[in-house]
């Protein structure tokens, strides 16, 4: 039986990694000179989240806003054949995030482009048809305006009313999730900012659970999972359940793209019929492995799929524990 598609809605960006070496300083300023040896591009933002879900062999529809400038055309080419792209008009230039890297570490990041959806960008996208039959919807908000569009939000509200699972990955500059979302997945900093009020100290599961509880009412969500980086995730449910989900130990690695991998993993698992706690536990383990193997900078296109390049991983026995884990119920 063909798997039902995951629909990803959000702001697609173009990520570029420029790799090089540094052996000298610029003579007219105290700045390193990067001798470029390689450059690679990949989908970013909602584009990366969608590409990673599609890399699992799941049919994916990506709803976004794209400008037909050179970076926008390049992004379309990167996504072509990997998923079903449904794009409305964008203004202000396609967002390009360029990381200048040395020895696997980012020396500098430069951003350009506004990537704002044009007024009524979604009017001709046929969102009702796009969302029909979806196994789950992932809203991958990068604060550029797709998730705030009134027509997008109305279509999402109708999907919620039909019982379609909606996973919402929020952004500080973005709107609140539509009421009734199945799961909202802020990281700790995003949760603290959204919750307001007294700031909880520490990064442990208890702080995450407290914040998740406060956000359940604010967002009118069925569940909130606060991701804690190396601490895993803390989940609170409207029905009163709660769980702390540990992450496997990882030494080093690169966290770039881990949030997209996590949110996409949750949406894929929910679309396949998993309950929220099981989906979060699976996604925490998978995101930890993603980080350990080098994060977003190791994602490459193989045929029609975007996959993490795992050849010769920088892992040694004992440094990366097996990726296993399960929710710990909290009374």
DSSP annotation of 179: T
Tokens matching residue 302: 């193989």
Burial bucket for residue 104 (CB in 10 Å: 0-12, 13-18, 19+): middle
Helical H segments across the chain, by residue range: 46-54, 70-79, 127-131, 150-161, 188-195, 205-219, 258-271, 276-292
d(CA 4, CA 27): 58
**Beta strands across the sheet bearing 105-112:** 32-45, 12-25, 96-102, 105-112
Residue 150 has what DSSP assignment? H
Angle at 49 between CA 44 and CA 55, to 5 degrees: 110
CA-based angle 216:279:257, to the nearest 5? 90
Tell me the two tokens of residue 33. Answer: 């000179």
Residue 260 catalytic? yes
Candidate list 69, 260, 277, 314, residue with the active-site label: 260
**Catalytic (active-site) positions:** 260
């Amino acid at each position: 039986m063909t798997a039902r598609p995951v629909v990803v809605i959000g702001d697609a960006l173009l990520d570029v990694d420029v790799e090089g070496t540094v052996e000298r300083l610029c003579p007219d300023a105290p700045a390193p000179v990067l001798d470029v040896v390689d450059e690679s591009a990949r989908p970013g933002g909602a584009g990366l989240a969608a590409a990673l879900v599609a890399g699992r062999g799941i049919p994916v529809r990506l709803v976004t806003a794209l400008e037909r400038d050179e970076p926008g055309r390049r992004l379309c080419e990167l996504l072509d054949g990997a998923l079903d792209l449904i794009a409305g008009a964008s203004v202000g230039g396609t967002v390009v995030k360029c990381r200048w890297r040395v020895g696997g570490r980012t020396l500098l990041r430069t951003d350009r482009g506004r990537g704002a959806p044009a007024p009524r960008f979604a009017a001709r996208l046929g969102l009702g048809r796009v969302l029909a039959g979806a196994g789950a919807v992932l809203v991958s908000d990068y604060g550029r305006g797709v998730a705030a569009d009134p027509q997008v939000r109305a279509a999402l509200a109708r999907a919620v009313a039909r019982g379609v699972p909606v996973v919402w990955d929020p952004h500080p500059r973005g709107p609140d999730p539509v009421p009734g979302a199945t799961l909202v997945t802020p990281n700790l900093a995003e949760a603290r900012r959204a919750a307001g009020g007294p700031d909880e100290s520490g990064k442990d599961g208890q702080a995450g659970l407290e914040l998740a509880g406060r956000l359940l009412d604010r967002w009118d969500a069925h569940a909130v999972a606060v991701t804690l980086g190396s601490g895993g995730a803390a989940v609170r449910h409207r029905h009163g359940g709660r769980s702390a989900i540990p992450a496997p130990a990882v030494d080093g690695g690169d966290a770039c793209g881990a949030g997209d991998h996590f949110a996409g993993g949750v949406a894929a698992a929910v679309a396949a019929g998993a309950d929220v706690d099981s989906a979060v536990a699976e996604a925490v383990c998978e995101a930890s492995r993603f980080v350990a193997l080098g994060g977003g900078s190791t994602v490459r296109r193989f045929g029609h799929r975007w996959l993490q390049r795992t050849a010769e991983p920088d892992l040694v026995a004992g440094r990366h524990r097996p990726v296993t884990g399960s929710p710990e119920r909290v009374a």
